[in-house]
Structure 1
Amino acid sequence: MNQHLSEPDVNPEPHPEASNHVGLGRNVIALGWVAFFGGLAQDMIQPILPTFYTAVLGLNKEFIGLIEGSLTTVVSLMKIGAGYLSDALGLRKGLVFIGYALSALARFSLGLAGSRAVIFGLRVTDGIGKGLKDAPRDALVAGSAGDRKLGFAFGVQRTLDTLGSVAGPLIAYALLRVWVDHPHKYQEVFLVAGVVAAIPLLIIGLVVRERKAGQVKQRVAVTTLRGPFAWFLAVMLLFTLGNSSDAFLLLRVQDVGIAATTVPIIYALFNLVSAVAAIPAGSLSDRIGRRRTITLGWIVYVLTYLGFALAAKPWLIWGLYAFYGLYYALTEGAAKAMIAELVPDAGRGGAYGLYNAAIGVMALPASLIAGVLWTRVGPAAPFAFGSAVAAAAIVALTLAPRSETAR
C-alpha cells in the first residue's frame, strides 16, 4: 500500500508499504499487532480498576471521576504535542516506541503501589505514554494505506486492537479466579499486564519500518484549524462533553446487581462485538461515506446510554454492552479515515493529535459531571445526560459544512 512519496526509504530493503494492488502493507499489519498487545494489557487492567479504586483504595465516585478525567485530558494534551512533533521531525516510529514504553512501565508499577497519590501519578504516566503514541501511530497507518482502503486499514487496526481487548479481560478473569483468595490479587494482575505491555516494544523495534517524510513539514499553524476539519473538531468536542469515562458504565453494571467477578466477561463481550464489526464498519465507511457511518455510530450511542439510564435488570446490561460495541466499531475507524481525507500527509500527525485532543479535552469535565450527577441525582443521570448531548452532536454533524475530498 503506497503513499507515493518521492523520498527514499530509510532502509535499502524493499518498501514495507506495498502497493494498493497487493493488499495491506507490513506496517499496517505490524502496527495492528502492536495495538493488539497494547489493548490486551490495557484491558486486563481497565475492567478491574473501578473495583480496585473502591474496594481496595476506598475512593468515592467523584475522586474516580477526577482520576479518569485527568488521565484522558493528559492523553489529549500529549497527543497534540506528539502529533505536531512527529510532523516536524518527519518521524513517527520513535515517538510510538517511547509512548508504549511509558505505558508498560506505568501498568507494571500499578502492581507495586497502593496509595491514592501514587496510583494517580501512575495513571497520568500511562496517559502520557498513550498520548505520545496514538497520533504518530495513526499517521503511520494512514501513510501506509492506499486512499481507497483507508477505512479498511483502520478497521483492521481497530479489529486487532479490540481482539486484544477481548483477550485482556478474559485473562484478568482467569487470573482472579486462580488468585481468588489472595489479598493482593489485583496488584498481581497489574504486574502481568505490565509484562504484556512490553511486547509491542519488540514489534515496533524489529518489524515496523518508516520512511522519512517529504521536505514540507507541518508547523503548529492556524491553517490546520480551518474549514471542515475545524467543524469536525468542534462537533467532537460537543459529543465528548457527554461521553464520560467508561469506568461509570462498569460501575453501573455493579449497581444493577452484577457481581464484580463477572464484569471482565461482560467487558470482553463488548470488545468482541466491536472487534467483529470493525472491519465491516470500516469498509462501510469506504462505501457510504465517513459522515454517515459516524452518524450511525452515534445513534447506537444514544440508544445505549438511554438503555443504561433505564436498565434495572442484569440481563439487560449484557445486551446493552454488546450493542455498545457497535458504537466503537462504527465511529473510530471512520473518524480517522475522514481526517486522512481532510488533511494532507505532511500535517496528519498534528491533525490526529488535534482530533484525539478534541475527543479527550472534554473528558475531565465530562467525567466530573458524571460523578456529580451520579452522587447528587442518581446512577441513571449521567447516562441520560450523555444520551442528550450525543443527540445534539448528531444534529451538529449533519449541519457541518462538507469537504470536496471527504466522503
Structure 2
Amino acid sequence: MGTAKAGTPVDAAATSRKGAGWRGIPSGIWALGFVSMLMDVSSEMIHALLPLYMVTVLGASTLAVGIIEGIAEATASITKIFSGALSDWLGKRKLLAVLGYGLAALTKPIFPLASTLDWMVAARFIDRIGKGIRGAPRDALVADIAPPELRGASFGLRQSLDTIGAFLGPLLAIALMWLTADHFPTVFWVAVVPALLSVVVLLVFVREPERKDGARPVRMPLRRSELARLGASYWWIVGIAAVFTLSRFSEAFLILRAQSLDLPLAMVPAVLVLMALAYSLSAYPVGVLSDRMNRVGILIAGLLLLVFADVVLAFSTGMASLAVGVVLWGLHMGFTQGLLATLVADVAPADLRGTAFGMFNLVTGLALLAASVLAGALWDAIGPEATFLAGAAFASVTIVGLLAVRGRIGAKA
C-alpha cells in the first residue's frame, strides 16, 4: 500500500498528475477540504471563546476545562472506531460523513442557548460525537479518492483548507466580540451558519468512488483476525502517535496561557488565529514534500518544533514570546497531523481504511484525554510552566522512539 519507490515504473497518468501539483488533486478532495473548512469556521468561533466562557461566565476551574476538553475529544475518538469500522462493513463512507457533519451542525444552536455548565458540556459532547462519526469515514474517503502518488499532498491540502477555517473562525469571533461588546451568545449564533453550509457542500459536491468489483467484503472489521491484517507497521505508527499525543494537549491551554499574560479578553482568540495561520500555510507544502522524501524525517522535524514551542510558551513573559511559541505550535501541527494520516493510509489495506483510521483516532483520543487532564492538573498545582515543560518532555521521548523504530514503519518512512 506504500507509495512507489524510486525506480519503480509508474503509469503515464500518474506521472502527469504528480507533475500537475495541486491541479492534479481530484475535485472530491477539494470539496472535502471546503467542507472541513466551513465546519471549522463554525467550531473554532465557539472553541476560541469556550474556555473563557466556562471559566469567566459559568465559573468552571482550569482543571475542569482540561477534563471537559479531554473527555470531549476522547468521546469523538471512541466514536471514530465504530464509524470507521461501519464504513468498511457498508462499503459506504459518504453516508456516515453526512450524518456526522449534520449532527454537529444541529448541535451548534445549543451553545448560545445554554445557561449552565451542564448544558454547555452536553452540547460539547454531542458536537464531538458528530466529529467522531464523520472523522474516520472522511479520512478513509480522502484515501480512497486520492491518487497514491499524491496521497501526502491530498491529505495536506485537506488539512490546510480545514485549518484556514481554524483561523477564520477565531478571527470572526474577535470581530464579533468587539462589535457586540463581548456578547458571547451572539458569536455562538453566527457560528451556526457555516456549519449548515458545510453539510450542503458535502451533499452536493462530494461523490464517493464505487467499490471495485470483486473487492473482498469485510464482515466484522473489529474482529481480531481483521485487525491483524492491518500489519505491524500500522501498529508501530499508532503507538508512536499515542506517545506523541501525550505531548500535545488541547489548544484550550494556549488560550489560557494568553489570558495568564493579561491579553485583553476580546483579543484572546487571536492566539488561535496565529496558530491556525501557521498550521494552514505549512500543511500542504509539507504534504507535497512527504510525497518526495522520507516521511519520518519530516515527522521528527515537527516534533522538534513542538519541543521548541513548549519551551518558549513555558517561559513566556510577554506578547512577543507568546506569539513565537504559538507560531511554532502551529508549524508543528502542519508538519505532523496530515503526515500521520498519510502514514496510516500508506500501510492500511484499502478495505480496512475506515477501521484503521478509527482505531488510530481511538488510541490518540484516549492519549489526548490523559494529556489534557494532566495539563490541567499541572497548571492548577504548579503553574503553566509545568504544563508546557511536561509537553516538551513527552515530545522528546517520541523523537527517541521514532529514531528507534523508523525502519519498521514502511517504505516511505
Query: Paired residue for 1:9?
Result: none
Counterparts of 1:2-401 in structure 2, within 5 Å, are 23-180=24-181, 185-214=183-212, 215-218=215-218, 219-220=221-222, 221-224=226-229, 226-400=231-405, 401=407
Query: In 2, are the aligned partners of 1:297 and 1:326 still within 8 Å (CA)?
Result: yes
TM-score (norm 1): 0.92
Structure 1: segments with no counterpart, 5+ residues? 4-17
Q: Using the TM superposition, give the Cα deviation of residue 19 of structure 1 relative to its aligned residue in structure 2, in angstroms.
A: 6.9
- Tell me how far apart the structure 2 counterparts of residues 378 and 327 of structure 1 sit (CA, whole Å): 23
Distance 1:370 1:224, change over 3 A: farther
- Tell me how far apart the structure 1 counterparts of residues 342 and 378 of structure 2 sit (CA, whole Å): 35
Letter in 2 for 1:231: W
- Tell me how far apart the structure 2 counterparts of residues 256 and 314 of structure 1 sit (CA, whole Å): 8
Q: Using the TM superposition, give the Cα deviation of residue 224 of structure 1 relative to its aligned residue in structure 2, in angstroms.
A: 4.2
- Tell me how far apart the structure 2 counterparts of residues 380 and 198 of structure 1 sit (CA, whole Å): 40
Query: In 2, are the aligned partners of 1:213 and 1:346 still within 8 Å (CA)?
Result: no
Q: Using the TM superposition, give the Cα deviation of residue 212 of structure 1 relative to its aligned residue in structure 2, in angstroms.
A: 3.2
Query: In 1, are the aligned partners of 2:230 and 2:348 still within 8 Å (CA)?
Result: no
Q: Using the TM superposition, give the Cα deviation of residue 225 of structure 1 relative to its aligned residue in structure 2, in angstroms.
A: 5.1
Letter in 2 for 1:93: K
Distance 1:58 1:186, change over 3 A: same
Q: Using the TM superposition, give the Cα deviation of residue 222 of structure 1 relative to its aligned residue in structure 2, in angstroms.
A: 3.0
- Give me the CA root mean square deviation: 1.7
Number of aligned residue pairs: give it.
388
Letter in 1 for 2:216: V
Secondary structure of 2:49's match?
helix
Secondary structure of 1:212's match?
coil
Secondary structure of 2:228's match?
helix
Letter in 2 for 1:216: R
Secondary structure of 2:383's match?
coil
1:90-119 CA distance string (max 9 Å, x none): 000011011111111222211111111111
Letter in 2 for 1:187: P
Secondary structure of 1:287's match?
coil
Query: In 2, are the aligned partners of 1:19 and 1:25 still within 8 Å (CA)?
Result: no
Query: Paired residue for 1:8?
Result: none
- Tell me how far apart the structure 1 counterparts of residues 217 and 29 of structure 2 sit (CA, whole Å): 23
Q: Using the TM superposition, give the Cα deviation of residue 342 of structure 1 relative to its aligned residue in structure 2, in angstroms.
A: 0.6
Letter in 2 for 1:354: M
Distance 1:177 1:240, change over 3 A: same
Query: In 2, are the aligned partners of 1:217 and 1:347 still within 8 Å (CA)?
Result: no
TM-score (norm 2): 0.90
Letter in 1 for 2:217: K
Query: In 2, are the aligned partners of 1:342 and 1:405 still within 8 Å (CA)?
Result: no
Query: In 1, are the aligned partners of 2:236 and 2:408 still within 8 Å (CA)?
Result: no
Query: In 1, are the aligned partners of 2:237 and 2:409 still within 8 Å (CA)?
Result: no
1:121-142 CA distance string (max 9 Å, x none): 1111011000111111111111
Letter in 1 for 2:198: P
Distance 1:222 1:158, change over 3 A: closer
- Tell me how far apart the structure 2 counterparts of residues 333 and 24 of structure 1 sit (CA, whole Å): 15
Q: Using the TM superposition, give the Cα deviation of residue 38 of structure 1 relative to its aligned residue in structure 2, in angstroms.
A: 1.1
Q: Using the TM superposition, give the Cα deviation of residue 319 of structure 1 relative to its aligned residue in structure 2, in angstroms.
A: 1.6
Query: In 2, are the aligned partners of 1:290 and 1:335 still within 8 Å (CA)?
Result: no
Letter in 2 for 1:87: D
Distance 1:27 1:255, change over 3 A: same
Letter in 1 for 2:172: I
- Tell me how far apart the structure 1 counterparts of residues 410 and 189 of structure 2 sit (CA, whole Å): 49
Structure 2: segments with no counterpart, 5+ residues? 4-15
Q: Using the TM superposition, give the Cα deviation of residue 200 of structure 1 relative to its aligned residue in structure 2, in angstroms.
A: 1.1
- Tell me how far apart the structure 2 counterparts of residues 217 and 231 of structure 1 sit (CA, whole Å): 26
Q: Using the TM superposition, give the Cα deviation of residue 301 of structure 1 relative to its aligned residue in structure 2, in angstroms.
A: 0.6
Query: Paired residue for 1:405?
Result: 411
Q: Using the TM superposition, give the Cα deviation of residue 164 of structure 1 relative to its aligned residue in structure 2, in angstroms.
A: 1.2
- Tell me how far apart the structure 2 counterparts of residues 276 and 222 of structure 1 sit (CA, whole Å): 35
Distance 1:250 1:224, change over 3 A: farther
Q: Using the TM superposition, give the Cα deviation of residue 404 of structure 1 relative to its aligned residue in structure 2, in angstroms.
A: 4.2
Query: In 1, are the aligned partners of 2:233 and 2:410 still within 8 Å (CA)?
Result: no
1:194-230 CA distance string (max 9 Å, x none): 2211111101111111133243234223314541111
Secondary structure of 1:257's match?
coil
